[in-house]
Every structure is written in C-alpha cells, then in structure tokens.
Homo-oligomer: A and B are copies of this chain.
C-alpha cells in the first residue's frame, strides 16, 4: 500500500506540497474525548517553516480544517480527518525536476517509479510538508499518553559540527528533556553554548547556501514494562518503521546504538537493581527496551538526518531527456538544517508507536478478554 499505517489506530496520510493541501484520517479514536486543540496548534507551530532563523522562509499558514470525526468539540469515535490547505504555492516550472533530477532528492527515483506522472511541485507527496498532519496526529495521541504518565521529549543531539552536552544522558537531563523545558529555547539543545554555536552555524550556512545534517535524541519517561510485541511488532520495529517514513532520516539507534559494536557484554549489559520498591537498571544502554519490549526504564533513541539536499550551489546532474550530464541550480526556499523543525515530528512518530504498543498491551491482559 503506501501512506497508511497502524492496526489499532489507523493513520491514512494524503496530499501534496503544492497541490490543494495535505491531510490525514485517523481511524478508531475513542469517543467522548475532548482534545486540547490549543496544544495541538502549539506543536504544529514548532514544525512550521518561517518561524525562525533556521527555517525556510516559506510562509504557510498551517491552519487546518477538521473535516470529520469531531462534534461539539469532542471526538465522535468516527474517523477524524484534518486538512491543511496549501496557500503559499508559487507557480513555477517544476516539471524540469523530472528532467534534471536534484541530487539526493526523490526526483529520479519517483520519476522511474511513477513514469514521470508524480506531482513534481515542491516534492509533491514526498515533501516534508506531509509531516504537518503527522504532528497533528502525534499531538492528539500524546494527550492520551500523558494521562498514562508517559512524557515524550527530544533534544538536538548534534547539528553538523555542533554537539550538545552532555552527550551521555544522565537521569536529570532525561527529566529536563521530557519536561518540555527545551521547547522554550531558541533551539532545543540542553547546553547554552551549543545553542549559540548552532545559531552561528545556521547563519553561516544561510549565506553560503549550504546545508548540514544532524541528530535528534528522543527520551520517553513513564513507559511501564511490557509494551511492544515480540518480533515484527516489537516496540523498536514500530518506532523504526515510522521513523524511516520521515523524509531525510538515514539512521536510528536505540540506547547505546552503534557504540554497542565496540562493547563487551560485561560492559554493555544493564544489571538489575532495586531502588526503594522500584526495580530498575543501573545504567540504560538498552534504551529502555529488551527483546523488543519496554523494560520500565526511559525509552531512548536517536535519529540521524541527512543534510537537506536542497542547496543553492550548482550541482551536477543528468538531463533525462537528452541523457547528457548537466549542471543544476536550485533556487527557492529551503532549510539549512531540518533538525530543529523535525523535533516535533519525531516526537509525534514516537507517540504513534507507543499508543499502538499500549493498546496492544491492553488486549494482552487476560482481563480484557474477560
């Protein structure tokens, strides 16, 4: 299929960057819940372009219309559809992108897949604008998770040459990240120095027309042990499927991640211990997940974004019509680094995966079956 995900809650995504708009239908929400739409809007604003130095200058209203599923401000239990109508769609010769594909964009792959019939305007269905309805979905789902005591937060772990401190997370940092404190900062780093360095870097990139990659670390507290299924619907598998659906993500690490490759078992294992009447591990290399199932410790994962492929510098490419090499210059609006705007997206994705695991686990209990 393609743009549909989920078994308990089903998300059906649609739309194009420069067509009528983008939207999502969410099936099987519970009736009677009154969403806090102000909080949803705040999350959407975090993702919105044009709201900071680090962002594209595209002016999207990011206003949405709820087409179904809400009555008297409450969920009805019927499918909820939200639609973000496009307003700032500049007309230009996008068709050329099918002819001279931009390096590391989906242009060439999509042209080969769809025989050139895909909507090329602004990336069409491949655009990062599709993440606006995902943030809506995540911000809604998140309101249920919070009632369970689950808190999801994220920080920029790295932006190009700028790293956050501390690299290895102490428990106090996890709490800060999940508290939402970082949302109030110019950039969601823990370290003030990193913010300053990163703002300077973004300024440099903007003038040079180049872009840079980065990493986001997601922390989740309050997940009880037992969420996630073995094998194909493990908590790691669900997060992974969703994470790699976000344009630009090229790596995913749980807990110690790639560092495990150089570790010994005696060093990597997280020994169990008691703390008061709580059972926990001494450290959390596992990222809160063993055998695909949450173990009660904070869930932690890190994603790597590639540098935005849209850069202002001339690049080599091929003219697919003539079959000859050529040079491409991309004009227009783009982010020098996608990572700041991507934080609410990755948090949204985490909420979707966790809710699926929570509902699955509701039904694993014998009581659910009477």
Contacts and interface: CB of A to CB of B under 8 A. Distances in A.
A119 interface: yes
- A interface bracket (residues with beta carbon within 8 Å of B): 35 or more
A25 B14 contact: yes
A45 interface: no
Copy number of this protein in the oligomer? 4
Interface in A324-340: 324-325
A78 B14 contact: yes
Contacts of A188: none
A258 B305 CA distance: 8
A152 interface: no
B268 A104 contact: yes
Contacts of A279: 108, 318, 320, 323
- Find the residue from A32, A277, A304 having the highest chain B CB count within 10 A: A304
Contacts of A310: 265
Contacts of A13: 79, 231-232
Contacts of A258: 215, 251, 253, 257-258, 304
A56 to B, nearest CB: 14
Nearest to A232: B5
* Interface secondary structure of A, over-half rule: mixed
A259 to B, nearest CB: 8
Interface in A315-356: 315-318, 320, 323-325, 355
Contact of A359 (B19, B23, B32, B363): B363
A13 to B, nearest CB: 6
A79 B307 contact: no
Contacts of A238: 241
A341 to B, nearest CB: 16
A168 to B, nearest CB: 16
Interface string A231-272: 111101111111111010111111111101111111111111
A194 interface: no
Interface in A32-62: 32-33
Contact of A257 (B237, B282, B304, B369): B304
A348 to B, nearest CB: 13
Contacts of A325: 273-274
A292 B106 contact: yes
Interface stretch (A109-117, A170-178, A179-187): A109-117
A27 interface: yes
A219 interface: no
A2 interface: yes
A209 to B, nearest CB: 9
A153 interface: no
Contact of A103 (B229, B240, B269): B269
A265 B309 contact: yes
A113 B77 contact: yes
A293 interface: yes
A148 B366 CA distance: 12
A28 B357 CA distance: 13
A298 interface: no
A14 B252 contact: no
Given A108-B272, A237-B241, A282-B316, 7 more contacts: A3-B231, A30-B366, A77-B113, A147-B369, A265-B307, A269-B309, A362-B363
